[in-house]
Chain A
Amino acid sequence: MPIFDQGYQHWSGELSGHAWRWLAITRHGVRVGLKSKLLRIVLFVSWLPALVLAGALCVWGLLEHKSSMIDPIVQFMMFVNPQVLAEPRAYRLEVWTLCFHFFLQTELRFSMILVLLVGPSLISQDLRFNALPLYFSRPLRRIDYFLGKLGVIGFFLAMVTIVPSVVAYILGVFFSMDFTIVPETFRLLVSTVVYGLIITLSAGLLILALSSLSRNSRYVALFWIGIWFVSGISASVLQGVEREHQLRSFAVHNPSFPPASQWRDARRLREERRVRLDSWQLQNSRTDWRPLVSYTENLSRVERALLGTDNSWRKLSELLPDDRDVNHFLVDYAGPFYPWYWSALVLLGLFGLSACTLNFPIKSLDRLR
Chain B
Amino acid sequence: MLFQLDEITKTYGSVTALNNLSVAVPEGAIGLLGPNGSGKTTMIRTLLGLIAVDHGSGEILGMDFRHRQLDIRREIGFAPEDECLFPRVDGVGFVAYAGELVGMSSKDALQRSHEVLDYVGLGEARYRKVESYSTGMKQRLKLASAIVHDPKLLILDEPTNGMDPAGRDEVLELARDLSRNKGMSLIFSSHLLPDVEAVCDYVVVLGGGKLLTQGNIRELKELHQECFEVRLKADMPTYANQLSALGCTTEQRDDLLLVRLPQGSSSQMLWQTAADHRLQIRYLKPRRSTLEEVFLNAVEKT
**Residues of A with Cβ closer than 8 Å to B?**
6-13, 15-18, 21, 24-25, 27-28, 32, 35, 121, 125-126, 128-141, 366-369
Contact = CB atoms under 8 A, between A and B. Distances in A.
Interface in B87-121: 87-89, 97-98, 100-106, 108, 112, 115-116, 118-119
A138 B73 contact: yes
Given A8-B147, A368-B50, A15 B73 contact: no
Interface of B: 41, 44-45, 48, 50-51, 69-71, 73-74, 76, 78, 80, 82-89, 97-98, 100-106, 108, 112, 115-116, 118-119, 123, 131, 145, 147, 149-150, 177-178, 182
B87 A137 contact: no
Nearest to B150: A11
B82 A8 contact: no
B177 A8 contact: yes
Judged by DSSP, the binding face of A is: loop
B50 A136 contact: yes
Contacts of B88: 32, 35, 121, 125
Residue of A24, A35, A140 most packed against chain B (CB within 10 A): A24
Nearest to B131: A129
B84 A367 contact: no
A27 B100 contact: yes
A21 B131 CA distance: 25
Given A13-B108, A138-B101, A367-B45, A131 B87 contact: yes
Contacts of B116: 8
Contacts of A136: 50
A13 B105 contact: yes
B74 A367 contact: no
A352 to B, nearest CB: 25
Contacts of A134: 80, 84-86, 98, 145
B103 A133 contact: no
A35 B93 CA distance: 13
A6 B89 CA distance: 24
Contact of A130 (B78, B84, B97): B84
B80 A131 contact: no
A33 B298 CA distance: 52
22 contacts: A6-B118, A8-B147, A8-B177, A8-B178, A11-B108, A13-B105, A15-B149, A16-B104, A24-B100, A24-B101, A27-B100, A32-B88, A35-B88, A130-B84, A134-B80, A137-B76, A137-B80, A139-B101, A140-B73, A140-B101, A367-B45, A367-B50
Contacts of B89: 28, 32
A27 B96 CA distance: 12
B115 A15 contact: no
Given A28-B100, A137-B78, A129 B73 contact: no
Contact of A9 (B100, B115, B145): B115
Contacts of A25: 101
B106 A15 contact: no
B32 to A, nearest CB: 14
A125 B101 CA distance: 18
A10 B177 CA distance: 13
A138 B98 contact: yes
A369 B182 CA distance: 30
Given A32-B89, A367-B45, A15 B84 contact: no
A28 B96 CA distance: 10
Contacts of A141: 70
Nearest to B51: A367
Contacts of B86: 28, 126, 129, 131, 134
Contacts of A366: 50
Given A11-B149, A137-B50, A369 B82 contact: yes
A139 B71 contact: yes
B149 A7 contact: no
Residue of A25, A121, A133, A135 most packed against chain B (CB within 10 A): A133
Nearest to A125: B87
Contacts of B41: 368
Contacts of A17: 103
A15 B103 contact: yes
A21 B101 contact: yes
A71 B114 CA distance: 61
Contacts of B45: 367-368
B258 to A, nearest CB: 41
A138 B182 CA distance: 22
A180 B118 CA distance: 62
A133 B101 contact: no
A103 to B, nearest CB: 32
Nearest to B123: A6
B70 A139 contact: yes
Contacts of B44: 368
Contacts of A24: 97, 100-101
A13 B70 CA distance: 18
Nearest to B121: A6
B84 A133 contact: yes
Contacts of B108: 11, 13
Given A8-B177, A126-B87, A131-B85, A138 B102 contact: yes
Contacts of B70: 18, 139-141
B42 to A, nearest CB: 9
B41 to A, nearest CB: 7
B284 to A, nearest CB: 40
A130 B82 contact: yes
Contacts of A9: 115
Contacts of A6: 115, 118-119, 123
> Which are the 6 A-B pairs with shortest beta-carbon distances?
A15-B103, A11-B150, A24-B100, A137-B78, A139-B70, A129-B85
